[in-house]
Amino acid sequence: MAYELLIKNGMLIDGSGGPRYRADIGVKDGRIATIGRIRGESAKEVIDAEGQVVSPGFVDGHTHMDAQIFWDTLGSCSCYHGVTSVVMGNCGFTLAPCREAEVDYVFLNLERAEDISREAMLSGIKWQWESYPEYLEVIDKLPKGINYAGYVGHSALRTYVMGERAFDEQATEDDLKAMVANVQDAVRAGAIGFSTSRSPAHLRPDDRPVASRIADFSEVQAIVGGMGEAGGGIFQIAMPRGSIAEQKAFYQSLMDLSRDSGCPITFGSLTRRATPGLWRELYEIIAEGNRGGSRVWTQVQSREINTVLSFETQLPFDGWPVWEDIRKLPLSQQKAALLDPQTRAKLVAAAKSPAPNRKLTGGEARPPEWEWFFYMDKAM
Residue 348 pLDDT: 87
CA distances in angstroms from 292 to 137, 172, 220, 286, 295, listed in the order given: 38, 33, 22, 10, 9
Write the pLDDT tens digit of every residue in 196-223.
999 998 999 888 999 999 999 999 999 9
Q: Give the count of beta carbons closer than 10 Å to the beta carbon of residue 50.
A: 10
Is 49 inside any structural domain?
Answer: yes
Residue 309, phi-psi category: left (phi > 0), alpha (psi -120 to 50), beta (remainder): beta
Tell which of 183, 211, 238 closes a domain: 238
Of the two residues 77 and 360, the one the predictor is more confident about is 77
| Residues 318 and 231 grouped into a single domain | no
- Range of lowest pLDDT (8-12, 88-92, 172-176, 311-315): 311-315
Task: For residue 160, give the DSSP letter.
Answer: H
| Residues 103 and 186 grouped into a single domain | yes
Tell which of 219, 238, 257 closes a domain: 238
Residue 363 has pLDDT above 60, yes or no: no
Is 63 inside any structural domain?
Answer: yes
Averaged pLDDT, 333-361 = 79
Of the two residues 357 and 100, the one the predictor is more confident about is 100
| Residues 29 and 79 grouped into a single domain | no
CATH number for position 143: 3.20.20.140
| Residues 117 and 224 grouped into a single domain | yes
| Residues 98 and 50 grouped into a single domain | no
Residue 307 has pLDDT above 70, yes or no: no
3-state SS class at 6: strand
Tell which of 33, 54, 75 closes a domain: 54
CA distances in angstroms from 141 to 73, 168, 235, 366, listed in the order given: 12, 37, 26, 41
Residue 357 has pLDDT above 60, yes or no: no
Is 12 inside any structural domain?
Answer: yes
| Residues 120 and 49 grouped into a single domain | no
Res. 361 pLDDT band, cuts 50 70 90:
very low
| Residues 149 and 211 grouped into a single domain | yes
Q: Radius of gyration (Cα) for the chain, nearest Å?
A: 23
CA distances in angstroms from 367 to 90, 353, 361, listed in the order given: 27, 9, 11
Residue 30 has pLDDT above 50, yes or no: yes
Is 17 inside any structural domain?
Answer: yes
| Residues 198 and 185 grouped into a single domain | yes
Is 89 inside any structural domain?
Answer: yes
Residue 171 has pLDDT above 50, yes or no: yes
| Residues 36 and 68 grouped into a single domain | no
Average pLDDT, the chain: 91
Is 138 inside any structural domain?
Answer: yes
| Residues 72 and 156 grouped into a single domain | yes
Distance CA 296, CA 210 (A): 25
Q: Give the count of beta carbons closer than 10 Å to the beta carbon of residue 251.
A: 21
Residue 132 has pLDDT above 50, yes or no: yes
CATH number for position 10: 2.30.40.10
Residue 127 pLDDT: 97
| Residues 369 and 229 grouped into a single domain | no
Averaged pLDDT, 80-104 = 96
Res. 60 pLDDT band, cuts 50 70 90:
very high
Residue 271 pLDDT: 67
Distance CA 145, CA 214 (A): 37
- Range of lowest pLDDT (21-35, 208-222, 289-303): 289-303
Write the pLDDT tens digit of every residue in 245-286.
999 999 999 999 999 999 999 999 876 777 888 989 999 999
Q: What are the φ and ψ backbone dihedral angles of 249, each rounded to 5 degrees? A: -65, -40
Tell me the residue range of the domain where 361 lies: 312-380
Contact, 296 vs 254, CB < 8 A?
Answer: yes
Residue 224 pLDDT: 99
Residue 17 pLDDT: 85
Residue 304 pLDDT: 63
Q: What is the domain count for the chain?
A: 3
Provide, rounded to the nearest whole percent, the portion of the chain with pLDDT above 90: 73
Is 306 inside any structural domain?
Answer: no
Is 231 inside any structural domain?
Answer: yes
Residue 226 has pLDDT above 80, yes or no: yes
Task: For residue 318, give the DSSP letter.
Answer: T
| Residues 218 and 167 grouped into a single domain | yes
Residue 365 pLDDT: 54
Residue 134 has pLDDT above 90, yes or no: yes
